[in-house]
């Protein structure tokens, strides 16, 4: 269990670091940044559920809320401190959808593996 928690902490640190990076990552194709947001928050969602051993819907909702606020915090800090970065509601939505997809994936995986 400590490994999942360590990976979760590392994923939060990487997401925070890349989110507040001075320059945005280069776009490999249109909307590549949205894919990155989705993937980052999908990873955070899966790791949070595994690290915290979530067994109830209430805890899943709490994780989703935590990840929503984390995504909003990154966008807000970009608006405050990084004039070369553009905060975006679409980025926030992509992150939240990634977290939601992660939660649904883990729930379905647990149901199907019984």
Total domains, the chain:
1
Helices (H) and strands (E) in the chain, counts: 4, 0
Is the residue at 105 inside a domain? yes
The Cα 113–Cα 35 span in angstroms is 28
Structure tokens at 77: 């800090």
Output the pTM of the full model.
0.91
Q: 38 in a domain, yes or no?
A: yes
**pLDDT value at residue 81:** 87
What are the tens digits of pLDDT across the range 46-55?
999 999 988 8
CA 21 from centroid of its chain's CA atoms? 16
23 lies in a domain? no
Range of the domain at 45: 2-15+32-112
Q: Quick check: is 41 in a domain? A: yes
Per-residue pLDDT tens over the stretch 30-87: 889 899 999 999 999 999 999 998 888 899 999 999 999 999 999 999 989 888 888 8
Classify residue 26: in a domain, yes or no. Answer: no
- Residue 22: the pLDDT is 77
Residues 6+ apart with CB under 8 A from 15: 40, 41, 44, 70, 74
């Amino acid at each position: 269990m400590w490994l999942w928690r360590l990976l979760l902490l590392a994923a939060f640190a990487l997401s925070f670091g890349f989110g507040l990076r001075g320059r945005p990552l280069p776009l490999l194709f249109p909307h590549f940044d949205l894919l990155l947001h989705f993937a980052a928050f999908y990873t955070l969602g899966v790791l949070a559920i595994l690290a915290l051993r979530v067994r109830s819907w209430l805890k899943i909702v709490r994780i989703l809320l935590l990840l929503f606020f984390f995504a909003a915090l990154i966008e807000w800090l970009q608006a405050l401190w990084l004039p070369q970065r553009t905060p975006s509601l679409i980025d926030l939505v992509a992150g939240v959808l990634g977290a939601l997809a992660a939660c649904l994936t883990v729930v379905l995986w647990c149901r199907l593996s019984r």
